[in-house]
Amino acid sequence: MTRETRQKQSRSVPRQRKTSSARRTSGAGKTSTRQSVRRAQLQAKTKVACKRSEKPARKQVDLARQSALKDFGTAIRHFQKRDYQKATVLFKKVALGPVREIADRARVHLRLCESKRHHESRPKTAEGYYARGVAALNSREFDQALQYLSKCNKMAPNQEYVHYALAAAYGLLGDSDHAFSHLETAIRLRPQNRVQARHDEDFQGLANDPRFPQLLGAGVRQPST
């Protein structure tokens, strides 16, 4: 009885199949290869997306830089013409912009504008405008000189020295008609201006005009050649 029971028990237990180690290894290799391929595809897609996003970003930076340079250049021109109010507006705009190096330069010029505006406030008298006009004339800032001298002439008309300075400014700018008109008025109001104008280098540009010797008379110094 005991032997038959043992045989029955041994026959009832199913045999286990042996798994090949080589088969397990090949399956793991396929899985790792698929993961590597997927990872490479994801990296490639990421690089393409980054490149696409970099192009519009670079374009925006270039446009911002061009705009800042344009505004900075215009502000510099206003600054050189002593129009500090317009220059200040543009320097402030550039100083708040995204282009750091240009913004830093704008802040430096902004401080200069504020200093100039503080020390060079608008004159309140005709004498003040005349002084500014002569100073601009001596520094060869003719447009600025005309603005100051014209304002002085409106505030205090029929002043021979103002007309004389206006004649010099227009003459240096090449506007001979206005130059002779103001010079004639200056001589009429003060005849001694005729002698002074003969030897004034500011009127050398008018010396070849026939109206010059007619207005000043004999003894006119001819320009050197």
Biggest CA pair distance of the chain: 164
What is the structure's pLDDT at 1?
45
Give pLDDT tens digits for 166-204.
999 999 999 999 999 999 999 999 999 999 998 888 998
Give pLDDT tens digits for 128-167.
899 888 888 888 888 889 999 999 999 999 999 999 999 9
Q: Provide DSSP, 111-167.
A: HHHHHHHHHSPPPSSHHHHHHHHHHHHHTT-HHHHHHHHHHHHHHS-S-HHHHHHHH
| Average pLDDT of span 202-221 | 82
User: Which one is predicted more confidently, 44 or 96?
Assistant: 96
What is the structure's pLDDT at 225?
37
What are the residue boundaries of the structural domains of the chain, listed by start? 55-121, 126-216
**pTM over the 0.85 mark:** no
Helix (H, G, I), strand (E, B) or coil at 109: helix
In whole angstroms, give the CA distance from residue 106 to residue 123. Answer: 27
Taking the CA atoms of the chain, what radius of gyration do you get in angstroms? 44
Give pLDDT tens digits for 26-51.
555 556 677 766 776 676 666 655 55
Q: Which CATH superfamily is domain 126-216 in?
A: Tetratricopeptide repeat domain (1.25.40.10)
